[in-house]
Homo-oligomer: A and B are copies of this chain.
Amino acid sequence: MGTMQLESVPEPKYLHLKTVLSEALDQDFAVGEILPNERELAARFGVARATLRQALEQLELEGRLQRRRGVGTTVAPPRVGVDVGGAQHSWPGESVDGWEPVDAAEEAVLSPALLKLLGTAPGEMVLAVRRSRVENGQVLAAELLYVPASSVPGLSAIDAPAGPARARAVMRELQKLVLDGQDRSVELGSARPEDAKELDRLPGAPVLLVTTRYFTVAGTAAVSVATYRADTCRLTFGDSGDVQITHDARVAS
């Protein structure tokens, strides 16, 4: 074979480990199955635990593994396709899609970026409605829906007690508005401790931040910031929720 170039740039161990594990997951493991613990895996592959963890972290990021402290590492099911709505000009939760009201309260401090999105002056009253998106008993997303008091006339009349009831009342008022349109953006973020708890993840876990602006003819009526678990969710736009698109949709060159 002569001087076959092995690798001018040797692949890092954790990357090689990742592909080895990935293939093993496809061949030798079923969904939900528990992997050997990290110390044993590290020993079996002859690497330090930290190196093994680097591989596991990426596999978890890609939704192939699920790790829970005190329990173990399991093979994750394919990602859930979560519809985040196409061009439907409607408030989410009008149809049955898993949004559960949690609470509603006046929000005192708003980030400058959010104020700009809302188009409100600092100091103007803004209501924050908390909702959770639940599917199959799993919390997929936590949402904060910011509603300037000025955009909903009937808001001051609400006297429901704190908790889901009040959130529902605000949503009812909101849904009376005729929507003119919406725009959305998606970006990567890390879960704040608050959201992390609700999503059953550790703080800093990767999340998909979906920011939606709702318009009426009068202008911005509300802004929603939804925090989706990045490990388990695939956001879908349109009507192809049934089709599976997983990591291996890409050609393994």
A37 at the interface (CB under 8 A from B): no
List B contacts of A250 (CB < 8 A): 111, 113-114, 144, 187, 189, 192, 209, 225
Interface residues on A, range: 35 or more
List B contacts of A18 (CB < 8 A): 204
Tell me the A200-225 residues at the B interface (CB within 8 Å): 203-204, 206, 208-209, 211, 213, 215, 225
Do A190 and B87 have beta carbons less than 8 Å apart? no
Distance (whole angstroms) from the CB of A90 to the closest CB of chain B? 12
In the bound assembly, the distance between CA atoms of A61 and B188 in angstroms comes to 7
Give the residue of B87, B116, B180, B233 whose beta carbon is less than 8 angstroms from that of A87. B87
26 contacts across the A-B interface (CB closer than 8 A): A58-B204, A63-B187, A86-B87, A86-B183, A110-B251, A111-B251, A113-B244, A113-B249, A116-B244, A144-B251, A182-B239, A183-B240, A185-B235, A186-B208, A187-B233, A187-B234, A187-B235, A188-B230, A194-B253, A206-B206, A211-B249, A213-B240, A213-B243, A215-B240, A215-B243, A225-B250
Q: Which residues of A contact B (CB under 8 A)?
A: 12, 15, 18, 58, 61-63, 79, 81, 86-87, 107, 109-114, 116-117, 128, 144, 180-190, 192-194, 203-204, 206, 208-209, 211, 213, 215, 225, 230-231, 233-241, 243-253
